Protein backbone atom coordinates (compact mmCIF):
# COMPACT_ATOMS: atom_id res chain seq x y z
CA UNK A 1 0.00 0.00 0.00
CA UNK A 2 2.75 2.43 0.99
CA UNK A 3 4.76 1.59 -2.10
CA UNK A 4 1.72 2.04 -4.34
CA UNK A 5 1.18 5.47 -2.80
CA UNK A 6 4.80 6.41 -3.21
CA UNK A 7 4.79 5.39 -6.87
CA UNK A 8 1.62 7.43 -7.41
CA UNK A 9 2.74 10.41 -5.28
CA UNK A 10 6.51 10.47 -4.87
CA UNK A 11 6.54 14.02 -3.50
CA UNK A 12 4.55 13.26 -0.34
CA UNK A 13 5.81 12.55 3.16
CA UNK A 14 4.43 9.57 5.03
CA UNK A 15 4.00 8.55 8.65
CA UNK A 16 3.58 4.76 8.61
CA UNK A 17 2.23 3.16 11.78
CA UNK A 18 2.20 -0.63 12.23
CA UNK A 19 0.30 -1.74 15.33
CA UNK A 20 2.49 -4.82 15.61
CA UNK A 21 1.89 -5.39 19.33
CA UNK A 22 -1.82 -5.93 18.73
CA UNK A 23 -2.00 -7.60 15.34
CA UNK A 24 -3.62 -9.41 13.70
CA UNK A 25 -6.76 -7.32 13.67
CA UNK A 26 -8.47 -9.91 11.44
CA UNK A 27 -9.14 -12.25 14.34
CA UNK A 28 -10.31 -9.59 16.81
CA UNK A 29 -13.86 -8.51 17.57
CA UNK A 30 -15.28 -5.40 15.82
CA UNK A 31 -15.37 -3.38 19.06
CA UNK A 32 -11.69 -4.16 19.77
CA UNK A 33 -10.72 -3.21 16.21
CA UNK A 34 -12.60 0.09 16.52
CA UNK A 35 -10.85 0.84 19.81
CA UNK A 36 -7.41 0.05 18.35
CA UNK A 37 -8.15 2.06 15.19
CA UNK A 38 -9.08 5.08 17.32
CA UNK A 39 -5.77 4.85 19.18
CA UNK A 40 -3.83 4.61 15.92
CA UNK A 41 -5.73 7.52 14.35
CA UNK A 42 -5.14 9.68 17.41
CA UNK A 43 -1.42 8.93 17.20
CA UNK A 44 -1.31 9.96 13.54
CA UNK A 45 -3.35 13.12 14.19
CA UNK A 46 -0.93 14.05 16.97
CA UNK A 47 1.93 13.49 14.50
CA UNK A 48 0.41 16.25 12.35
CA UNK A 49 -0.71 14.36 9.25
CA UNK A 50 -3.03 15.93 6.65
CA UNK A 51 -4.91 12.71 5.87
CA UNK A 52 -5.16 9.16 7.20
CA UNK A 53 -5.26 6.07 5.03
CA UNK A 54 -6.49 2.95 6.84
CA UNK A 55 -4.54 0.47 4.77
CA UNK A 56 -5.80 -2.57 6.69
CA UNK A 57 -8.90 -4.10 5.12
CA UNK A 58 -10.18 -5.34 8.48
CA UNK A 59 -9.96 -1.91 10.11
CA UNK A 60 -11.41 -0.30 6.96
CA UNK A 61 -14.32 -2.76 7.05
CA UNK A 62 -15.39 -2.23 10.64
CA UNK A 63 -13.82 1.00 11.94
CA UNK A 64 -13.82 3.53 9.07
CA UNK A 65 -17.13 5.20 9.93
CA UNK A 66 -16.28 5.42 13.63
CA UNK A 67 -12.87 6.97 12.88
CA UNK A 68 -14.34 9.42 10.35
CA UNK A 69 -16.92 10.53 12.92
CA UNK A 70 -14.40 10.87 15.73
CA UNK A 71 -11.88 12.83 13.61
CA UNK A 72 -14.30 14.81 11.51
CA UNK A 73 -11.90 17.56 10.48
CA UNK A 74 -9.53 14.98 8.98
CA UNK A 75 -9.69 13.19 5.65
CA UNK A 76 -9.84 9.47 6.51
CA UNK A 77 -9.75 6.94 3.68
CA UNK A 78 -10.39 3.19 3.81
CA UNK A 79 -9.67 0.63 1.12
CA UNK A 80 -13.11 -0.97 0.81
CA UNK A 81 -14.85 1.66 -1.32
CA UNK A 82 -11.94 1.81 -3.78
CA UNK A 83 -11.84 -1.98 -4.02
CA UNK A 84 -15.58 -2.22 -4.56
CA UNK A 85 -15.49 0.39 -7.36
CA UNK A 86 -12.61 -1.32 -9.13
CA UNK A 87 -14.29 -4.72 -8.90
CA UNK A 88 -17.54 -3.43 -10.37
CA UNK A 89 -15.64 -1.73 -13.20
CA UNK A 90 -13.88 -5.02 -13.96
CA UNK A 91 -17.00 -7.23 -13.73
CA UNK A 92 -19.19 -7.10 -16.84
CA UNK A 93 -21.55 -9.78 -15.43
CA UNK A 94 -21.43 -8.24 -11.94
CA UNK A 95 -20.03 -11.34 -10.24
CA UNK A 96 -17.50 -10.46 -7.57
CA UNK A 97 -15.61 -12.79 -5.23
CA UNK A 98 -14.01 -11.45 -2.06
CA UNK A 99 -11.35 -13.03 0.12
CA UNK A 100 -10.37 -11.50 3.45
CA UNK A 101 -9.94 -12.09 7.17
CA UNK A 102 -12.72 -13.51 9.33
CA UNK A 103 -13.63 -10.07 10.56
CA UNK A 104 -13.69 -8.45 7.10
CA UNK A 105 -15.89 -11.22 5.71
CA UNK A 106 -18.21 -11.25 8.75
CA UNK A 107 -18.66 -7.46 8.44
CA UNK A 108 -19.97 -7.85 4.84
CA UNK A 109 -18.39 -4.45 4.18
CA UNK A 110 -17.35 -5.29 0.60
CA UNK A 111 -20.72 -6.84 -0.18
CA UNK A 112 -22.57 -3.74 1.08
CA UNK A 113 -20.28 -1.34 -0.81
CA UNK A 114 -20.66 -3.31 -4.05
CA UNK A 115 -24.44 -3.63 -3.77
CA UNK A 116 -24.69 0.14 -3.17
CA UNK A 117 -22.85 0.72 -6.45
CA UNK A 118 -24.42 -2.15 -8.43
CA UNK A 119 -27.61 -3.42 -6.81
CA UNK A 120 -27.80 -6.50 -9.05
CA UNK A 121 -24.25 -7.66 -8.45
CA UNK A 122 -23.64 -11.17 -7.13
CA UNK A 123 -21.09 -11.13 -4.34
CA UNK A 124 -19.68 -14.07 -2.38
CA UNK A 125 -16.95 -13.81 0.21
CA UNK A 126 -14.73 -16.27 2.00
CA UNK A 127 -12.47 -15.85 5.00
CA UNK A 128 -8.94 -17.15 4.41
CA UNK A 129 -7.34 -16.40 7.79
CA UNK A 130 -4.51 -18.83 7.39
CA UNK A 131 -3.09 -17.06 4.31
CA UNK A 132 -1.97 -14.25 6.64
CA UNK A 133 0.46 -16.57 8.44
CA UNK A 134 1.54 -18.11 5.14
CA UNK A 135 2.40 -14.65 3.76
CA UNK A 136 4.36 -13.69 6.86
CA UNK A 137 6.33 -16.93 6.63
CA UNK A 138 7.22 -15.93 3.06
CA UNK A 139 5.67 -19.13 1.69
CA UNK A 140 3.77 -17.43 -1.12
CA UNK A 141 4.95 -19.20 -4.26
CA UNK A 142 5.27 -22.87 -3.36
CA UNK A 143 3.12 -26.01 -3.40
CA UNK A 144 1.78 -25.30 0.09
CA UNK A 145 0.60 -21.85 -1.02
CA UNK A 146 -0.98 -23.34 -4.14
CA UNK A 147 -2.82 -26.01 -2.14
CA UNK A 148 -3.99 -23.62 0.57
CA UNK A 149 -5.23 -21.02 -1.92
CA UNK A 150 -6.96 -23.75 -3.93
CA UNK A 151 -8.62 -25.11 -0.77
CA UNK A 152 -10.11 -21.67 -0.12
CA UNK A 153 -10.91 -20.65 -3.71
CA UNK A 154 -12.55 -23.80 -5.09
CA UNK A 155 -15.64 -23.71 -2.84
CA UNK A 156 -15.83 -19.92 -3.28
CA UNK A 157 -15.80 -20.16 -7.09
CA UNK A 158 -18.39 -22.97 -6.93
CA UNK A 159 -20.89 -20.70 -5.18
CA UNK A 160 -21.15 -18.63 -8.39
CA UNK A 161 -23.13 -19.50 -11.50
CA UNK A 162 -21.17 -21.49 -14.12
CA UNK A 163 -18.33 -19.35 -15.40
CA UNK A 164 -17.39 -18.25 -11.90
CA UNK A 165 -16.71 -14.70 -10.77
CA UNK A 166 -15.61 -11.88 -13.11
CA UNK A 167 -13.31 -10.49 -10.49
CA UNK A 168 -11.81 -11.32 -7.14
CA UNK A 169 -10.99 -8.72 -4.50
CA UNK A 170 -7.84 -9.38 -2.44
CA UNK A 171 -9.51 -8.06 0.70
CA UNK A 172 -6.46 -8.25 2.98
CA UNK A 173 -3.14 -6.48 2.44
CA UNK A 174 -1.30 -9.77 2.91
CA UNK A 175 -3.11 -11.44 0.04
CA UNK A 176 -1.45 -9.39 -2.69
CA UNK A 177 1.51 -11.70 -2.11
CA UNK A 178 -0.60 -14.56 -3.53
CA UNK A 179 -1.59 -12.76 -6.73
CA UNK A 180 0.61 -15.03 -8.88
CA UNK A 181 -0.76 -18.21 -7.30
CA UNK A 182 -4.34 -16.95 -7.65
CA UNK A 183 -3.63 -16.06 -11.29
CA UNK A 184 -2.62 -19.70 -11.92
CA UNK A 185 -5.84 -21.01 -10.34
CA UNK A 186 -8.40 -18.72 -11.98
CA UNK A 187 -9.26 -18.21 -15.67
CA UNK A 188 -7.25 -15.47 -17.41
CA UNK A 189 -10.36 -13.30 -17.82
CA UNK A 190 -11.00 -13.09 -14.04
CA UNK A 191 -9.74 -9.71 -12.85
CA UNK A 192 -7.66 -9.65 -9.67
CA UNK A 193 -8.36 -6.48 -7.71
CA UNK A 194 -5.92 -5.13 -5.12
CA UNK A 195 -7.85 -2.41 -3.24
CA UNK A 196 -4.62 -0.88 -1.91
CA UNK A 197 -3.30 -0.19 -5.42
CA UNK A 198 -6.68 1.13 -6.51
CA UNK A 199 -6.96 3.50 -3.57
CA UNK A 200 -3.39 4.73 -4.04
CA UNK A 201 -4.12 5.68 -7.63
CA UNK A 202 -7.40 7.38 -6.85
CA UNK A 203 -5.84 9.35 -3.98
CA UNK A 204 -2.91 10.43 -6.12
CA UNK A 205 -5.40 11.95 -8.55
CA UNK A 206 -7.49 13.62 -5.85
CA UNK A 207 -4.74 15.05 -3.66
CA UNK A 208 -3.98 18.63 -4.66
CA UNK A 209 -0.68 19.31 -6.40
CA UNK A 210 0.66 21.41 -3.51
CA UNK A 211 3.48 19.06 -2.71
CA UNK A 212 4.59 18.47 -6.29
CA UNK A 213 8.18 19.24 -7.01
CA UNK A 214 9.13 19.43 -3.36
CA UNK A 215 11.48 16.63 -2.46
CA UNK A 216 10.51 15.25 0.95
CA UNK A 217 13.31 15.41 3.50
CA UNK A 218 12.10 12.26 5.28
CA UNK A 219 9.93 10.34 2.79
CA UNK A 220 8.70 7.80 5.35
CA UNK A 221 8.82 7.71 9.15
CA UNK A 222 7.98 4.23 10.41
CA UNK A 223 6.43 3.56 13.81
CA UNK A 224 5.71 0.16 15.38
CA UNK A 225 4.14 -0.84 18.68
CA UNK A 226 6.30 -3.92 19.30
CA UNK A 227 9.83 -5.14 18.54
CA UNK A 228 11.32 -3.14 15.67
CA UNK A 229 13.40 -6.05 14.39
CA UNK A 230 10.35 -8.13 13.51
CA UNK A 231 8.60 -5.11 11.97
CA UNK A 232 11.66 -4.55 9.83
CA UNK A 233 12.01 -8.17 8.66
CA UNK A 234 8.31 -8.79 7.96
CA UNK A 235 7.96 -5.28 6.50
CA UNK A 236 10.71 -6.06 4.03
CA UNK A 237 8.65 -8.95 2.63
CA UNK A 238 5.78 -6.59 1.89
CA UNK A 239 7.57 -3.39 0.93
CA UNK A 240 10.06 -5.16 -1.31
CA UNK A 241 13.11 -3.45 0.15
CA UNK A 242 14.63 -3.01 3.56
CA UNK A 243 13.44 -0.60 6.24
CA UNK A 244 16.46 1.18 7.75
CA UNK A 245 16.41 0.74 11.54
CA UNK A 246 17.17 4.47 11.97
CA UNK A 247 13.87 5.41 10.31
CA UNK A 248 11.95 3.17 12.76
CA UNK A 249 10.60 4.22 16.14
CA UNK A 250 8.77 2.22 18.76
CA UNK A 251 5.60 3.81 20.16
CA UNK A 252 2.96 2.85 22.73
CA UNK A 253 -0.72 3.07 21.76
CA UNK A 254 -2.13 1.45 24.93
CA UNK A 255 -1.94 4.66 26.93
CA UNK A 256 -2.88 7.12 24.22
CA UNK B 1 -3.43 -28.68 28.81
CA UNK B 2 -6.64 -28.10 30.75
CA UNK B 3 -8.03 -31.48 29.72
CA UNK B 4 -4.78 -33.21 30.72
CA UNK B 5 -5.01 -31.56 34.14
CA UNK B 6 -8.64 -32.51 34.52
CA UNK B 7 -7.93 -36.13 33.65
CA UNK B 8 -5.08 -36.16 36.17
CA UNK B 9 -6.95 -34.20 38.87
CA UNK B 10 -10.72 -34.37 38.34
CA UNK B 11 -11.50 -32.96 41.78
CA UNK B 12 -9.91 -29.54 41.22
CA UNK B 13 -11.56 -26.28 40.20
CA UNK B 14 -10.01 -24.26 37.40
CA UNK B 15 -9.97 -20.63 36.33
CA UNK B 16 -8.97 -20.66 32.65
CA UNK B 17 -7.89 -17.34 31.16
CA UNK B 18 -7.33 -16.94 27.40
CA UNK B 19 -5.79 -13.58 26.48
CA UNK B 20 -7.47 -13.69 23.10
CA UNK B 21 -7.36 -9.93 22.49
CA UNK B 22 -3.57 -9.94 22.53
CA UNK B 23 -2.62 -13.30 21.04
CA UNK B 24 -0.50 -14.69 19.58
CA UNK B 25 2.24 -14.21 22.11
CA UNK B 26 4.66 -16.18 19.91
CA UNK B 27 5.23 -13.24 17.58
CA UNK B 28 5.58 -10.58 20.28
CA UNK B 29 8.77 -9.26 21.88
CA UNK B 30 9.93 -10.74 25.21
CA UNK B 31 9.21 -7.51 27.10
CA UNK B 32 5.64 -7.37 25.75
CA UNK B 33 5.07 -11.03 26.67
CA UNK B 34 6.35 -10.39 30.21
CA UNK B 35 4.03 -7.39 30.56
CA UNK B 36 1.02 -9.38 29.32
CA UNK B 37 1.91 -12.37 31.53
CA UNK B 38 2.03 -10.08 34.57
CA UNK B 39 -1.45 -8.76 33.77
CA UNK B 40 -2.81 -12.29 33.36
CA UNK B 41 -1.17 -13.52 36.59
CA UNK B 42 -2.55 -10.54 38.51
CA UNK B 43 -6.02 -11.33 37.22
CA UNK B 44 -5.75 -14.96 38.36
CA UNK B 45 -4.35 -13.96 41.76
CA UNK B 46 -7.26 -11.57 42.20
CA UNK B 47 -9.59 -14.46 41.31
CA UNK B 48 -8.21 -16.30 44.35
CA UNK B 49 -6.36 -19.23 42.74
CA UNK B 50 -3.94 -21.42 44.75
CA UNK B 51 -1.49 -21.95 41.89
CA UNK B 52 -0.89 -20.64 38.38
CA UNK B 53 0.01 -22.81 35.40
CA UNK B 54 1.42 -20.88 32.47
CA UNK B 55 0.22 -23.27 29.79
CA UNK B 56 1.62 -21.20 26.91
CA UNK B 57 5.13 -22.29 25.93
CA UNK B 58 6.05 -18.79 24.77
CA UNK B 59 5.05 -17.17 28.08
CA UNK B 60 6.71 -20.03 30.00
CA UNK B 61 9.91 -19.52 28.01
CA UNK B 62 10.33 -15.79 28.55
CA UNK B 63 8.12 -14.70 31.46
CA UNK B 64 8.14 -17.52 34.05
CA UNK B 65 10.99 -16.13 36.17
CA UNK B 66 9.57 -12.61 36.13
CA UNK B 67 6.12 -13.85 37.17
CA UNK B 68 7.56 -16.10 39.91
CA UNK B 69 9.52 -13.13 41.29
CA UNK B 70 6.58 -10.74 41.15
CA UNK B 71 4.14 -13.21 42.76
CA UNK B 72 6.51 -14.89 45.17
CA UNK B 73 3.89 -16.23 47.58
CA UNK B 74 2.21 -18.10 44.72
CA UNK B 75 3.15 -21.41 43.11
CA UNK B 76 3.73 -20.58 39.42
CA UNK B 77 4.46 -23.43 37.01
CA UNK B 78 5.65 -23.25 33.40
CA UNK B 79 5.74 -26.06 30.86
CA UNK B 80 9.41 -25.85 29.82
CA UNK B 81 11.03 -27.66 32.77
CA UNK B 82 8.53 -30.54 32.56
CA UNK B 83 9.05 -30.84 28.81
CA UNK B 84 12.83 -30.80 29.16
CA UNK B 85 12.76 -33.55 31.84
CA UNK B 86 10.47 -35.77 29.78
CA UNK B 87 12.61 -35.32 26.67
CA UNK B 88 15.80 -36.26 28.48
CA UNK B 89 14.11 -39.33 29.98
CA UNK B 90 13.02 -40.38 26.50
CA UNK B 91 16.37 -39.70 24.78
CA UNK B 92 18.96 -42.44 25.35
CA UNK B 93 21.44 -40.72 23.00
CA UNK B 94 20.60 -37.27 24.37
CA UNK B 95 19.44 -35.85 21.04
CA UNK B 96 16.44 -33.58 21.43
CA UNK B 97 14.59 -31.60 18.75
CA UNK B 98 12.34 -28.71 19.72
CA UNK B 99 9.65 -26.98 17.67
CA UNK B 100 7.96 -23.81 18.91
CA UNK B 101 7.07 -20.23 18.13
CA UNK B 102 9.69 -17.66 17.07
CA UNK B 103 9.84 -16.26 20.56
CA UNK B 104 10.18 -19.65 22.30
CA UNK B 105 12.97 -20.71 19.94
CA UNK B 106 14.78 -17.35 20.15
CA UNK B 107 14.67 -17.54 23.97
CA UNK B 108 16.57 -20.89 23.92
CA UNK B 109 14.60 -21.76 27.06
CA UNK B 110 14.25 -25.45 26.21
CA UNK B 111 17.89 -25.73 25.22
CA UNK B 112 19.03 -24.15 28.50
CA UNK B 113 16.71 -26.35 30.60
CA UNK B 114 17.86 -29.52 28.84
CA UNK B 115 21.57 -28.65 29.09
CA UNK B 116 21.14 -27.96 32.80
CA UNK B 117 19.75 -31.49 33.22
CA UNK B 118 22.01 -33.23 30.71
CA UNK B 119 25.10 -31.15 29.87
CA UNK B 120 26.10 -33.37 26.95
CA UNK B 121 22.73 -33.37 25.23
CA UNK B 122 22.48 -32.22 21.63
CA UNK B 123 19.54 -29.84 21.19
CA UNK B 124 18.34 -28.17 18.00
CA UNK B 125 15.24 -26.03 17.76
CA UNK B 126 13.17 -24.64 14.92
CA UNK B 127 10.45 -22.02 14.89
CA UNK B 128 7.28 -23.17 13.08
CA UNK B 129 5.11 -20.06 13.47
CA UNK B 130 2.80 -20.93 10.67
CA UNK B 131 1.59 -24.16 12.31
CA UNK B 132 -0.29 -22.00 14.82
CA UNK B 133 -2.58 -20.62 12.11
CA UNK B 134 -2.90 -24.07 10.54
CA UNK B 135 -4.07 -25.54 13.87
CA UNK B 136 -6.60 -22.75 14.41
CA UNK B 137 -7.99 -23.33 10.92
CA UNK B 138 -8.47 -26.98 11.90
CA UNK B 139 -6.24 -28.15 9.03
CA UNK B 140 -4.23 -30.60 11.10
CA UNK B 141 -4.63 -33.90 9.28
CA UNK B 142 -4.50 -33.10 5.57
CA UNK B 143 -1.91 -32.85 2.79
CA UNK B 144 -1.25 -29.18 3.60
CA UNK B 145 -0.46 -30.06 7.21
CA UNK B 146 1.78 -32.91 6.10
CA UNK B 147 3.70 -30.69 3.67
CA UNK B 148 4.04 -27.81 6.11
CA UNK B 149 5.22 -30.04 8.96
CA UNK B 150 7.64 -31.81 6.60
CA UNK B 151 9.00 -28.43 5.38
CA UNK B 152 9.81 -27.51 8.99
CA UNK B 153 10.98 -30.93 10.23
CA UNK B 154 13.28 -32.07 7.42
CA UNK B 155 15.95 -29.38 7.90
CA UNK B 156 15.62 -29.73 11.68
CA UNK B 157 16.21 -33.50 11.57
CA UNK B 158 19.13 -32.96 9.17
CA UNK B 159 20.96 -30.82 11.75
CA UNK B 160 21.39 -33.94 13.94
CA UNK B 161 23.93 -36.70 13.48
CA UNK B 162 22.71 -39.63 11.31
CA UNK B 163 19.81 -41.33 13.05
CA UNK B 164 18.21 -37.98 13.88
CA UNK B 165 16.81 -36.93 17.23
CA UNK B 166 15.65 -39.38 19.93
CA UNK B 167 12.79 -37.13 20.88
CA UNK B 168 10.94 -34.05 19.70
CA UNK B 169 9.33 -31.54 22.04
CA UNK B 170 6.05 -30.01 20.85
CA UNK B 171 7.00 -26.62 22.28
CA UNK B 172 3.71 -24.83 21.54
CA UNK B 173 0.28 -25.86 22.82
CA UNK B 174 -1.08 -25.72 19.27
CA UNK B 175 1.38 -28.31 18.01
CA UNK B 176 -0.15 -31.24 19.89
CA UNK B 177 -2.77 -31.15 17.14
CA UNK B 178 -0.05 -32.27 14.68
CA UNK B 179 1.11 -35.26 16.73
CA UNK B 180 -0.35 -37.74 14.23
CA UNK B 181 1.24 -36.02 11.23
CA UNK B 182 4.59 -35.79 13.05
CA UNK B 183 4.31 -39.48 13.93
CA UNK B 184 3.98 -40.32 10.22
CA UNK B 185 7.08 -38.27 9.34
CA UNK B 186 9.49 -39.46 12.05
CA UNK B 187 10.79 -42.97 12.83
CA UNK B 188 8.67 -44.96 15.30
CA UNK B 189 11.45 -44.86 17.92
CA UNK B 190 11.47 -41.03 18.08
CA UNK B 191 9.53 -40.00 21.19
CA UNK B 192 7.01 -37.18 20.82
CA UNK B 193 6.91 -35.09 23.98
CA UNK B 194 3.94 -32.89 24.84
CA UNK B 195 5.10 -30.70 27.76
CA UNK B 196 1.51 -29.85 28.74
CA UNK B 197 0.65 -33.51 29.35
CA UNK B 198 3.90 -34.07 31.19
CA UNK B 199 3.37 -31.08 33.46
CA UNK B 200 -0.24 -32.07 34.16
CA UNK B 201 0.85 -35.50 35.33
CA UNK B 202 3.69 -34.21 37.49
CA UNK B 203 1.43 -31.58 39.07
CA UNK B 204 -1.28 -34.14 39.79
CA UNK B 205 1.29 -36.14 41.76
CA UNK B 206 2.66 -33.12 43.62
CA UNK B 207 -0.61 -31.37 44.54
CA UNK B 208 -1.77 -32.44 47.98
CA UNK B 209 -4.83 -34.64 48.18
CA UNK B 210 -6.94 -32.03 49.99
CA UNK B 211 -9.43 -31.66 47.16
CA UNK B 212 -9.85 -35.37 46.50
CA UNK B 213 -13.38 -36.64 46.78
CA UNK B 214 -14.90 -33.18 46.69
CA UNK B 215 -16.92 -32.67 43.56
CA UNK B 216 -16.26 -29.19 42.19
CA UNK B 217 -19.40 -27.10 41.83
CA UNK B 218 -17.98 -25.19 38.85
CA UNK B 219 -15.18 -27.33 37.38
CA UNK B 220 -13.96 -24.62 34.98
CA UNK B 221 -14.63 -20.90 34.74
CA UNK B 222 -13.45 -19.58 31.39
CA UNK B 223 -12.33 -15.99 30.84
CA UNK B 224 -11.35 -14.37 27.53
CA UNK B 225 -10.17 -10.87 26.66
CA UNK B 226 -11.90 -10.62 23.27
CA UNK B 227 -15.03 -11.93 21.57
CA UNK B 228 -16.38 -14.97 23.41
CA UNK B 229 -17.75 -16.57 20.27
CA UNK B 230 -14.31 -17.01 18.72
CA UNK B 231 -12.85 -18.24 22.01
CA UNK B 232 -15.60 -20.81 22.19
CA UNK B 233 -15.20 -22.06 18.61
CA UNK B 234 -11.38 -22.20 18.59
CA UNK B 235 -11.38 -23.54 22.15
CA UNK B 236 -13.57 -26.42 21.04
CA UNK B 237 -10.90 -27.52 18.56
CA UNK B 238 -8.35 -27.79 21.35
CA UNK B 239 -10.47 -28.97 24.27
CA UNK B 240 -12.27 -31.59 22.24
CA UNK B 241 -15.74 -30.59 23.39
CA UNK B 242 -17.81 -27.46 23.47
CA UNK B 243 -17.42 -24.59 25.95
CA UNK B 244 -20.86 -23.55 27.20
CA UNK B 245 -21.30 -19.79 26.63
CA UNK B 246 -22.70 -19.44 30.18
CA UNK B 247 -19.36 -20.57 31.67
CA UNK B 248 -17.50 -17.88 29.65
CA UNK B 249 -16.87 -14.32 30.78
CA UNK B 250 -15.16 -11.45 28.99
CA UNK B 251 -12.52 -9.58 30.99
CA UNK B 252 -10.19 -6.64 30.34
CA UNK B 253 -6.49 -7.01 31.15
CA UNK B 254 -5.35 -3.67 29.66
CA UNK B 255 -6.31 -1.70 32.72
CA UNK B 256 -5.36 -4.20 35.39
DSSP conformational letter for A22: S
Model pLDDT, residue A210: 43
Name the residue of chain B whose CA is nearest to A20's CA.
B28
Overall CATH class of domain A2-79+199-250: alpha beta
Model pLDDT, residue B211: 44
pLDDT band at residue B216 under the 50/70/90 scheme: low
CA separation for the pair B23, B26 (Å, rounded): 8
Return the closest-CA partner of residue A166 out of A111, A86, A91: A91
Average pLDDT value for residue range A145-154: 96
DSSP A127-139: E-THHHHHHHHT-
Name the residue of chain A whose CA is nearest to B147's CA.
A144
Comparison of pLDDT for B24 and A165, the residue scoring more: A165
Residue B215 has pLDDT above 70, yes or no: no
Name the residue of chain B whose CA is nearest to A127's CA.
B137
Return the closest-CA partner of residue B16 out of B211, B200, B196, B220: B220
In the set B45, B56, B128, B142, the catalytic residue is B56
pLDDT band at residue A218 under the 50/70/90 scheme: low
Say if the Cβ atoms of B27 and A230 lie within 8 Å.
yes
Q: Point out the least confidently predicted range of A129-133, B52-56, B234-238.
A: B234-238
pLDDT band at residue B218 under the 50/70/90 scheme: low
A186, A164 Cβ separation under 8 angstroms: yes
Best mutation site among B137, B250, B253 for testing chain A: the one with the most A CBs within 10 Å? B137
Model pLDDT, residue A226: 86
Q: Does A148 touch chain B (CB under 8 A)?
A: yes
Question: Rg of chain B over CA atoms, in angstroms?
Answer: 18
CA separation for the pair B224, B97 (Å, rounded): 32
Question: Which CATH topology does B80-195 take?
Answer: Rossmann fold (3.40.50)
Contacts of residue A147, Cβ cutoff 8 Å, sequence gap at least 6: B143, B144, B147
Read off the pLDDT of residues B87-146 as tens digits, 9 standing for 90 and up: 999 999 999 999 999 999 999 999 999 999 999 999 999 999 989 989 988 999 999 999
Is A56 marked active-site? Answer: yes
Average pLDDT value for residue range A62-79: 96
Residue B72 has pLDDT above 50, yes or no: yes
pLDDT band at residue B201 under the 50/70/90 scheme: confident
B225, B252 Cβ separation under 8 angstroms: yes
Model pLDDT, residue A211: 44
Read off the pLDDT of residues B145-180 as tens digits, 9 standing for 90 and up: 999 999 999 999 999 988 899 999 999 999 999 999
Please, what is the average pLDDT of chain A? 90
Return the closest-CA partner of residue A32 out of B22, B134, B178: B22
Residue B222 has pLDDT above 80, yes or no: yes
CA separation for the pair A107, A111 (Å, rounded): 9
Q: Does B42 touch chain A (CB under 8 A)?
A: no
Which helix (H) or strand (E) segment holds residue B183: the answer is helix B179-185
Best mutation site among B24, B26, B38, B144 for testing chain A: the one with the most A CBs within 10 Å? B144
Domain with CATH 3.40.50.1860 in chain B: 2-78+199-250, 80-195
Give the sheet arrangement for strand B220-224, strand by strand: B14-18, B220-224, B248-250
Please, what is the average pLDDT of chain B? 90
Read off the pLDDT of residues A154-211 as tens digits, 9 standing for 90 and up: 999 999 988 899 999 999 999 999 999 999 999 999 999 999 999 988 887 776 544 4
Query: How many helical (H) and strand (E) elements, i.e. helices and strands, does chain B have?
Result: 11, 9
How many Cβ atoms from other residues are within 10 Å of residue A180's Cβ? 12
Model pLDDT, residue B227: 80
- What residues pair up with A250 in beta bridges, in sequence order? A224
Task: Looking at the complex, report in whole angstroms how far the Cα of residue B217 sits from the nearest Cα belonging to chain A.
Answer: 31
Return the closest-CA partner of residue A12 out of A48, A68, A50: A50
Q: Point out the least confidently predicted range of A26-30, A57-61, A118-122.
A: A26-30
- What residues pair up with B122 in beta bridges, in sequence order? B95
Domain with CATH 3.40.50.1860 in chain A: 2-79+199-250, 80-195
A100, A127 Cβ separation under 8 angstroms: yes
Contacts of residue B194, Cβ cutoff 8 Å, sequence gap at least 6: B83, B170, B176, B179
Residue B210 has pLDDT above 50, yes or no: no
Return the closest-CA partner of residue A108 out of A155, A61, A168, A65: A61
Considering the segment(s) B2-78+199-250 as one domain, its CATH architecture is 3-Layer(aba) Sandwich (3.40)
Please state, for a pLDDT cut of 70, what percent of chain A lies above it.
95
Question: Rg of chain A over CA atoms, in angstroms?
Answer: 18
Is B45 marked active-site? Answer: no
Q: Does B47 touch chain A (CB under 8 A)?
A: no
Return the closest-CA partner of residue A21 out of A43, A46, A6: A43
Say if the Cβ atoms of B136 and A130 lie within 8 Å.
yes
pLDDT band at residue B203 under the 50/70/90 scheme: confident
Comparison of pLDDT for A137 and B81, the residue scoring more: B81
DSSP A67-128: HHHHTTTSEEEESHHHHHHHHHHT-TT-EEEEEE-HHHHHHTHHHHHHHHH-TT-EEEEEE-
Please state, for a pLDDT cut of 90, what percent of chain A lies above it.
67
Give the SS3 label for residue A192.
strand
Return the closest-CA partner of residue A26 out of A147, A130, A114, A116: A130
pLDDT band at residue A81 under the 50/70/90 scheme: very high
Model pLDDT, residue B213: 46
A240, A3 Cβ separation under 8 angstroms: yes
pLDDT band at residue A28 under the 50/70/90 scheme: confident
Model pLDDT, residue B217: 59
Amino acid sequence: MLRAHQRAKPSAEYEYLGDTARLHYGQRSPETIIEYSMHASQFLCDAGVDAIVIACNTASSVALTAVQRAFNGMRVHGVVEAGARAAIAASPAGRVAVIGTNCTVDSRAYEKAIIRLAPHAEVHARACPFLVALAEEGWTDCDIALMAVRQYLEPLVDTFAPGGPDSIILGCTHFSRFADVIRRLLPAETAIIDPADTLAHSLAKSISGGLRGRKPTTPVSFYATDALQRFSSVGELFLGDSIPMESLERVDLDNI
